[in-house]
Amino acid sequence: MLNKNKLLYGLIFIPIAFLAWYLVSYQTNKPSRYLAYFGPKHSNKINDSSYHTIPYFEFTNQFNEKVNSNTIKNKIYIAEFFFTTCKSICPKMNSNLKKVYKTYKNNINFLILSHTVYPEIDSVNALLDYSNQYGVTDKKWLFLTGQKKDLYYLARKGYLLNNETGNADENDFIHTQNIALIDNERHIRGFYDATDSLEIMRLIQEINLLQLEYDYKK
């Protein structure tokens, strides 16, 4: 009789305990808040709209390798625009981004993409030398060059980091301290001033929230 009671106790109590543990754990891992989506919604038909998505791109990184939209598939990443000979905001921006790089260096689902706005001088070799200055030895932080018109189109129409009009000619120039946080579905989830250390702290916090959001949905 005692053994039967123990068996009955186990059959009832263990599933209940497991369910309680699961519910507590599930709620504990739930993000404290969800990040907003930025950019205009696109609609193809009535009552069918989707969030702004980063368009397809293809550039070349500091290792002379092609980087395109497939590279960032299912990854959270940061988009920045800079140039290697900048003496004003870019050194501060990339010093701050180095902190982010070191924080997520071992995260296989995270990248930083730094696009030059001065491809006339920022060759592959120039980008490699520049990346070495920031201690980048892997492919977690990619410095990109390509056609100026493609880089500028992406900055303005893709990442929404510059609202000026321009045609990417010799008189057109983009210079911004703002960076964008992109989720693993190519949606913009945040904008930050990369020269501000407090903004970088906010960025790191929101990268963690975004990661929790995806973990919670699994």
pLDDT above 60 for 143: yes
Q: pLDDT class for 42, splitting at 50, 70, 90?
A: confident
The pLDDT assigned to 81 comes to: 98
Residue bearing tokens 């123990």: 6
What is the C-alpha separation between 155 and 113, in angstroms, rounded? 12
Residue 85 amino acid letter: T
CA-CA distance, 218 to 213, in Å (whole number)? 9
**Mean pLDDT, range 114-142, rounded to an integer:** 97
pLDDT digits (tens, 9 = 90+) for 51-96: 999 999 999 999 999 999 999 999 999 999 999 999 999 999 999 9
Backbone dihedral angles phi then psi of residue 123, each to the nearest 5 degrees:
-75, 175
Beta bridge partners of residue 38, listed in sequence order: 188
Distances (CA, A) of 186 to 42, 55, 67, 144, 182: 14, 8, 15, 18, 6
User: What is the per-residue pLDDT across 146-171, written as a single tens digit (0 to 9) for each?
Assistant: 999 999 999 999 999 998 888 888 88
Is the pLDDT reported for residue 172 higher than 70?
yes
pLDDT for position 218: 62
pTM for the model stands at 0.84
Q: How confident is the model at residue 44 (pLDDT cuts 50, 70, 90)?
A: low
Domains of the chain by start residue, with CATH? 52-217 (3.40.30.10)
Give the integer Cα–Cα distance in Å for 154 and 147.
11
Higher pLDDT, residue 187 or 22: 187
